[in-house]
Amino acid sequence: MVAEVLPRTAVVGRYENPWTIPNMLSMTRIGLAPVLGYLIIEEDFNIALGVFALAGLTDLLDGFIARNWASQKSALGSALDPLADKILISILYVSLTYADLIPVPLTYMIISRDVMLIAAVFYVRYRTLPTPRTLSKYFNPCYATARLKPTFISKVNTAVQLILVAASLAAPVFNYADSIYLQILWCFTAFTTAASAYSYYHYGRKTVQVIKGR
């Protein structure tokens, strides 16, 4: 999978500015994740819906800005944006499962997939660093070595997962927690999660773009 993506020869990355607006928005989304988790556990679902909407707005804005302003696009952002989504989704699903709004098997499936993908990102980072590999170089956000490109089904899966979160957060507010449509959405989310995991396994070579030095 990922191991086949990367060349065995050393590659040289490039330095770039990590302090872009999209990256700051992604960091904001990561910061909102534990706040949302706390609100859900405390069953403050009305406030949680508002905070979730704010988190969703940061997701829309960082993608829009990165696509339309070349100076705001970065290799770090290509990893930080999906990482922020995964942290947010993982905390939300654990919290919603604790609140009995999402089934345990679905949360286990989603978190297992995300843990594997995050581990793969760290592995890609290690493999694309030129020798000598050092901790300071590894964790230097200014030093870009690879750009990540999510698969189409992965983008669909993220959207479906977030739709389920929104529907689950609204369920106790509008009293439809036992709706059959919510249960159908559970099944569809499980399907897209499995399909997304397979797409990364099958198309791993195409999801990593190694950055050559300049």
CATH number of the structural domain spanning residue 197: 1.20.120
Does residue 71 form part of some domain? yes
Number of domains, the chain: 1
Q: Is residue 171 part of a domain?
A: yes
Residue 54 · residue 24 · CB < 8 Å: no
Q: State pLDDT tens for residues 130-166.
A: 777 888 777 776 666 777 778 889 889 989 999 999 9
Domain holding 106, by residue range, is 21-204
In a domain, 212, yes or no: no
Domain-located, residue 62: yes
Residue 107 in contact with residue 97, Cβ under 8 Å?
Answer: yes
- pLDDT tens digits for range 2-60: 544 444 444 445 566 677 888 889 999 999 999 999 999 999 999 999 999 999 898 88
**Whether the predicted model's global pTM rises above the 0.85 cut:** no
Q: Is residue 168 part of a domain?
A: yes
DSSP 103: -
- For residue 214, being part of any structural domain is answered with no
Asked, for residue 192, whether it belongs to a domain, the answer is: yes
Note whether residue 4 is domain-resident: no
